Chains A and B, each alone.
Chain A
Amino acid sequence: MKLVIPPLIYMLLFPGGLGLIMTGLLYEWVHRKLVARLQNRIGPRWFQPMADALKLLLKEEIIPSEVNPYLFVGLPVAGIAGVLTAGLYVPLWGFPAAYSFDGDLIVTLYLLSLLTLSTGLAGWNTRSRFSLVGATRTLTQLFAYEAPFMMALLGPALAVGSWRMNDIIAGNQGTWLMFTQPIGFIVAVIGLMGKLEMPPFDAPEAETEIVAGALTDYSGRGLVLFHIGRTTEMLVGLTMIAALYMGGINGPLDFVIKTLPVLLLISGFQTLITRLRIDQTVGLWWRYGALLVLLQWVVLIVLKGIS
């Protein structure tokens, strides 16, 4: 009996499902409040994201007629499932990760991009013109930032020589890789902004061009699942960057101290930049993002070779 309960609680309540979602929503509130304060506004109250999510859950869901209903309903669930499972391999709230196996860093990154894939497919599934354009943009942008973002996160793994998250954290316990591998850190942070489709890279859901991108036709439950998936992805991404680049997390307070500055960096950067067109983003990523990360890797390998 003892064995059964903790993993269930792990899974559903504390670091897993509900805990992850609530923390994600809290982090989304911090993000919206920061953006508002930087724009000289008061910004939303602390329970705003929860109220939004709850209201969307209680609203009626319209399923357009010529849409494959199973895909329409299933894709949001697949997206959020991917992100929630990614939450299991990441040291949330400073506690050691629930599960870890060799190569779990790669699996987490794959699970995170599962949400973007399901958003793209959801956009492709409807007849609304805006969703089709939004879907193509989401997928093109996925190929742009995915490779540099993954290579940036594999930098610390290279330094330690293993793909297991716990080993990497243990290996780099003392040093802050943020300063020893600065280029990798910058590309990782900007890659996270690309993955979360934040303003410089929010062409896929550019409100003034294609209304709401791939999610134009979603309402109620489907919309809230995608929205919660996006906020949880932000939380998971922040924890990964903090864990890998800031010398591991060893306690809830340390977790908050390390993730909030990164969130401040992201919000600040977001308010300073105009939205890039989709071709400009792809150009930016492949011309600068990939080259910078390769440069970082070369430096790493040369240093490892010497020592």
Chain B
Amino acid sequence: MTQLSERWKEVIGKVKTWAFTNSIYVVHFNSGSCNGCDIEILATLTPRYDAERLGVKLIGSPRHADVLICTGPVSLQARERLLRTYQQMPDPKFVVVVGSCGVQGGVFDGCYNVMGGVDTVIPVNAYIPGCPPRPEAIIDGIVKLLGSLRSPAKAVPVLNPEGKVS
């Protein structure tokens, strides 16, 4: 009997991965970015890049979302709202950071009202550096995130609040 439930569990796992990697509801949060990356994110939805063919759909409420696309070097004011938006997303949820500001604070690193990277506040699954990254680079980031979800050997995001990579 257990051998059956084993195979059953594996089938459910396959179906679940298929569903999660083919339908991605994205919510966008700008935590202090100069809106260069935000207009490139919006550009991925327009006819020339059309993220809908990959199953990506931009929706308004974090309650419906799976992936939080975050831009900007988390300003102090936006920090707590970013945390709250992240908490409201149902599991399983992923975070994609777009732009050098979100990864490491970019050119604003060291300003007094900026926390630095997004991963000082919430765990991040994929980083897309660039200032701003091209819409194709953003799609490349999402495709890499989906690829890592399909193959279970994905790197577990490590939340290192302290500063630079040692």
> Is chain B in direct contact with chain A in the complex (CB below 8 A)?
yes
Query: A residues bordering B, Cβ < 8 Å?
Result: 32, 36, 39-45, 47-48, 51-52, 54-55, 58-62, 130, 207-208, 211-212, 215-220, 223
A211 touches B50 (CB 8 A): no
Q: Which residues of B contact A (CB under 8 A)?
A: 15-16, 18-20, 22-23, 25, 46-47, 50, 52-53, 55, 57, 59-61, 63-64, 66, 88, 90-92
A55 CA to B53 CA, complexed, in Å? 17
Instruction: Give the chain B neighbours of A40 by CB distance below 8 A.
Output: 47
Q: Which of A32, A36, A48, A220 contacts B22 (CB 8 A)?
A: A48
| Residue of B18, B20, B60, B88 touching A207 (CB-CB under 8 A) | B60
B22 and A47 form a contact (CB under 8 A): yes
Complex Cα distance, B15 from A59, in Å, reads 13
Is A45 in contact with B55, judged by CB distance below 8 angstroms? yes
Distance A207 CA – B64 CA, assembled complex (angstroms): 13
The total of interchain contacts (Cβ-Cβ below 8 angstroms) comes to 81
Q: Chain B residues with Cβ under 8 A from A217's Cβ? A: 61, 63
Known contacts A39-B47, A59-B92; is-contact A212 B19 (Cβ 8 Å): no
- Cα-based distance from A116 to B88 in the complex (angstroms): 26
Q: Which A residues are CB-close (under 8 A) to B15? A: 54
Question: In terms of DSSP, what is the predominant structure of the interface of chain A?
Answer: loop
**In the complex, chain A residues whose CB is within 8 Å of the CB of B92:** 59-60
Q: Contact at A48–B47, with CB atoms within 8 Å?
A: no
Question: How many Å lie between the Cα of A216 and that of B61 in the bound state?
Answer: 6
B22 touches A59 (CB 8 A): no
Q: How far is the CB of A10 from chain B (nearest CB, A)?
A: 27
- For B63, what are the chain A residues with a Cβ–Cβ distance below 8 Å? 62, 212, 216-219
A219-B90 contact given A40-B47, A55-B20, A212-B64, CB 8 Å threshold: yes
- Check B19 against A58 for contact (C-beta < 8 Å): yes
Residues of A within 8 A of B25 (CB): 52
Closest partner residue, chain B, to A59 (CB atom): B90
Whether B88 contacts A62 by the Cβ 8 Å rule is: yes
Q: How far is the CB of A59 from chain B (nearest CB, A)?
A: 5
- If A40-B47, A59-B66, A59-B90 touch, whether A54 touches B19 (CB-CB below 8 Å) is yes
Query: Beyond A41-B50, A52-B57, A60-B91: 13 further Cβ-contacts under 8 Å?
Result: A39-B47, A41-B47, A42-B52, A44-B52, A45-B55, A52-B25, A52-B55, A60-B90, A62-B63, A212-B63, A217-B63, A218-B64, A220-B90
Q: Across the two chains, which residue of chain A brings its CB closest to B46? A: A41
Whether A211 contacts B66 by the Cβ 8 Å rule is no
Is B18 touching A42 in the complex (CB atoms < 8 A)?
Answer: no
Q: A59 contacts which of B52, B57, B60, B91 (Cβ < 8 Å)?
A: B91
The smallest C-beta distance from A125 to any residue of chain B, in angstroms, reads 14
Q: Is the CB–CB distance between A58 and B16 below 8 Å?
A: yes
Chain B residues, Cβ within 8 Å of A39: 47
Check if B47 sits within 8 Å of A212, measured CB to CB: no
B23 lies within 8 A of A207 (CB) = no
| Chain A residue contacts of B88, Cβ below 8 A | 62
Please indicate the chain A residues that have their CB under 8 angstroms from the CB of B53 in the complex: 41-45
User: Most chain-B CB neighbours within 10 Å: which of A51, A59, A62, A223?
Assistant: A59
Complex A-B: 30 CB contacts under 8 Å: A36-B50, A40-B47, A41-B46, A41-B50, A41-B53, A43-B52, A45-B55, A47-B22, A48-B22, A48-B55, A51-B18, A51-B22, A51-B23, A51-B55, A54-B19, A55-B19, A55-B20, A55-B22, A55-B66, A59-B90, A61-B90, A62-B88, A62-B90, A207-B59, A212-B64, A215-B64, A216-B60, A216-B61, A218-B63, A218-B64
Complex contacts, A130 vs chain B, CB 8 Å: 61
Taking the closest CB of chain B, its distance from the CB of A44, in whole angstroms, is 5
Bound CA span A47–B53, Å: 11
Instruction: List chain B residues, Cβ under 8 A from A44.
Output: 52-53, 55
Q: Which 8 A/B pairs are nearest by Cβ-Cβ distance?
A: A51-B23, A51-B22, A211-B60, A55-B19, A54-B19, A60-B90, A52-B23, A41-B50
